Structure 1
Amino acid sequence: MSHREQVINWLNDAYAMEQALEETLQRHAQDAQGENEEVQTRIERHIEETRGQAQIVRECIEALGGQVSGVKSAFATMFGAMQGQASRPAGDTMVKNAIADYAAEHFEIATYRALIDAAERIGEREIADRLRGILQQEEEMARFLEQKLPGAVEEKLAASAR
């Protein structure tokens, strides 16, 4: 397998990951409805970002001469299952969602940093630059979640002390 083919494979994994995350984010936005309007609004914005990210990844795959795989990779299936665990009905759903989403954002950050490096190594600077835009969005969402996690924990603990 050539380096280019390997990068296409990794981009396909990222594409499947973004699709799995969109489904999870939709559930988490619903969970936040009536609980935290700011979090719900930010998750809904990130759903739109995620759709755009998937489109960019698709375009990068095609620019490299590849095709988007219609099959969810084992990677994306595992990732989606892990994310789904947080949405099980429970009194601490907001805390569990925040933890899962924060972890997912850091997983995405690592994925896109690796993809940027790979694209640079095969001489695809334009693709690396497009992926940097995605990386920036993921880092922004991770910072938002990092700011909101302590409040979710505090709210749950206060509610359980009543």
Structure 2
Amino acid sequence: MSKSKAQENYIDWVRDAHAMEKQAETMLTKMADRLEHYPLLQRRIQEHIVETQGQQKLVQDVLDRLDTSHSVIKDVAAKATAMGQSLSGMFVSDEVVKGGISGYVFEHFEIACYSALIVAAEAVGDLQGAQTFMTIKVQEEQMAKWLEENLPEVTQRYLALLENPDVDASR
């Protein structure tokens, strides 16, 4: 039995979500590894890495249940993109602030993706998938809210550390 166009798109979007979570893990790990003077931000990013790994598993569970697999090509491309993004941040002095802004933007991208996935899952009758994506969306919303509330403090700390010539404020 062939799949409907809606089902095909839904499965493709779930694969995209898996690749997106791989990209998020790579970006977050690279950023967390470089945060020497921002322990609160580092701790929250490390917590979100654990959440992201759990999200990858949840998305993979949906793919397994749909009798499909994640796209290795998309996962590799996402990791390469994330690596490039994280490496480009190594060469800017205000990396921590720009990383926080980028993280905030990426969280909202994920929220939008999961919002669409919830609707698609419901449309094709995958209520279990819809529930999974609602759970993940809540985690992404919490991280976005944390970044929104804490980015001003991170920015202030960065600016204060800039005044100390013995400290690399970007770390």
1:28 to 28, 31, 41: 31
- Indicate the structure (1 or 2) with the bigger Cα radius of gyration: 2
Q: Is the 8 A contact 2:97 2:155 kept in 1?
A: yes
The residue aligned with 1:3 is 6
The percentage of counterpart residues that share the same residue type is: 36
The residue aligned with 1:67 is 69
Aligned length: 161
The residue aligned with 1:110 is 112
Q: Is the 8 A contact 1:17 1:79 kept in 2?
A: no
> Per-residue displacement from partner, 1:47-76 (whole Å, max 9, x unpaired)?
111111011111111212222211126973
Matches within 5 A, 1:68-83: 68-72=70-74, 76=78, 80=82, 83=85
Q: Does residue 150 of the first structure (1) align with residue 158 of the second (2)?
A: no
Matches within 5 A, 1:31-46: 31-32=34-35, 34-46=36-48
Structure 2: distance between partners of 1:93 and 1:67: 35
The residue aligned with 2:125 is 123
State the SS of the aligned residue for 2:8.
helix
**Of 90-99 and 7-16, the range deviating more from structure 2:** 90-99
The Cα shift of 1:161 comes to 5.6
Structure 2: distance between partners of 1:110 and 1:79: 20
**Of 68-77 and 40-49, the range deviating more from structure 2:** 68-77
State the SS of the aligned residue for 2:74.
coil
**Of 71-80 and 61-70, the range deviating more from structure 2:** 71-80
Q: TM (normalized to structure 1)?
A: 0.88
Question: 5+ residue gaps in structure 2?
Answer: 165-171
Aligned-residue RMSD, C-alpha: 2.2
Q: TM (normalized to structure 2)?
A: 0.84
